[in-house]
Amino acid sequence: DVKVTQSSRYLVKRTGEKVFLECVQDMDHENMFWYRQDPGLGLRLIYFSYDVKMKEKGDIPEGYSVSREKKERFSLILESASTNQTSMYLCASGTLSYNEQFFGPGTRLTVL
């Protein structure tokens, strides 16, 4: 079974802090994705990556950056956390050929 893990289930940070969310997959997938999910807005794509050291902006990249130094790991970075970044963050990985995506358990981030 595909396994996607995220570093924290719940996280509470202060405004202005730098926040790192880590995602690791164990299926050697080329593609990795970061989404945020908010009530009434659904899932929105923040960033994605097709390969190591590659990154592409999604629909809402502002205020975020990413890092993919190894194929299995994709990190989402909030450079200076703000209250409007309070959300559920979901990481996914997928194959290059079919792009079937598999999701991690999510990180509920609260920024105070």
Partner 1 sequence: KQEVTQIPAALSVPEGENLVLNCSFTDSAIYNLQWFRQDPGKGLTSLLLIQSSQREQTSGRLNASLDKSSGRSTLYIAASQPGDSATYLCAPCGATNKLIFGTGTLLAVQP
Contact residues for partner 1, defined by CB under 8 A: 4, 31, 40, 42-43, 45, 48, 50, 58, 88, 90, 92, 98-106, 108
Instruction: For residues 83 and 19, give the distance between their C-alpha atoms in angstroms, rounded to a whole number.
Output: 13
Name the residue nearer to partner 1 (CB basis): 62 or 98.
98
Task: Determine the length of the chain.
Answer: 112
C-beta of 67: minimal distance to partner 1 in Å? 20
In whole angstroms, how close is the CB of 55 to partner 1 at the nearest point?
A: 14
Whose Cβ is closer to partner 1: residue 77's or residue 88's?
88
Q: Which is nearer to partner 1, 30 or 72 (CB)?
A: 30
At 87, which helix (H) or strand (E)?
Answer: strand 87-94
Other CB atoms within 10 Å distance of the CB of residue 37: 14
Q: How far is CA 28 from CA 33, 35, 46, 73, 92, in A?
A: 14, 20, 22, 10, 13
To partner 1, the closest distance from the beta carbon of 109 in angstroms equals 13
